Amino acid sequence: MTVAQDLAGRRAVITGGAQGLGRAIAERLAVAGAAITIVDLDAAHSPLPVGWDMVVCDLGSPAAQEEMRQLAERLGSVDIVVANAGVVPPWRRVVALDRAEWEAVMAVNVWGVAITLGAFADALAQSGRGAAIVMASINGYKAHPEQVLYSASKHAVIGVMRAAALDLGARGVRVNALAPGPIATEALLSRIARRHAEGGPDPEKVLAGMAADTALGRLASPQDVANAAHFLASDAAAGITGKVLPIEAGLA
């Protein structure tokens, strides 16, 4: 690890950090020396390492904005914020959209990201080296069939990131986005298995097909995403803001 990527003495807040990509990112930042605060729905969902701070918050709830403001005030100076919390709705074509589902997903995926950045703006500025990272997706700049809602939410997340980078840049805060392609997380595997149970293709063939579409011949991993987050959070990326970093193994 180079000195520029050393995070010793820094505080990182990761939303949706109890499992999945958020957990992988939190673990990577912790290895680099950061103190970790996790914001997630359920404190009992997944045991956390000793020394990690855990805060329960539903970012889609009406109370979330004030709860995040209170957390930022309690923590004081914060060096890294990863707005990772999000949900992936069921596959649904544009002719079958559901308003309640749409509003619930947008509340977490877009509003949740925006209020996280807003709540921690002062804390990140106080740090003097603040870095915020939002979790977008390749669906933030392209689309797939039956993913109208998810694609719309991730397009919006990139817009939030770009505007926030302009708002906060004068205060020395960098804001960037990660855009993973297909990652073999538990969430993706469960969705593929569910589609198979409903008459869809064999899960192994689906994963093999996804891997074959990449330049590297494999899917990007949670560790790949976590390493990219570490880079954007560190001084090695001090000159980068308002950008989207794809992590998709060269997806065609």
Structure tokens that stand for 241 in this block? 């803001």
Tell me the backbone φ, ψ of residue 131, rounded to 5 degrees: -135, 125
At 32, list the tokens.
């680099």
Q: Is 183 left (phi over 0), alpha (psi -120 to 50) or beta?
A: beta
Beta carbons of 20 and 88 less than 8 angstroms apart: no
175: Cβ–Cβ under 8 A, 6 or more apart, which residues?
Answer: 117, 131, 132, 133, 134, 161, 164, 165, 168, 169, 241, 242
The 3 state secondary structure assigned to 70-100 is HHHHHHCCCCEEEECCCCCCCCECHHHCCHH
- Mapping DSSP to helix (H, G, I), strand (E, B) and coil, where does residue 39 land? strand
CB 157 within 8 A of CB 136: yes
Q: So which residues are the catalytic ones? A: 150
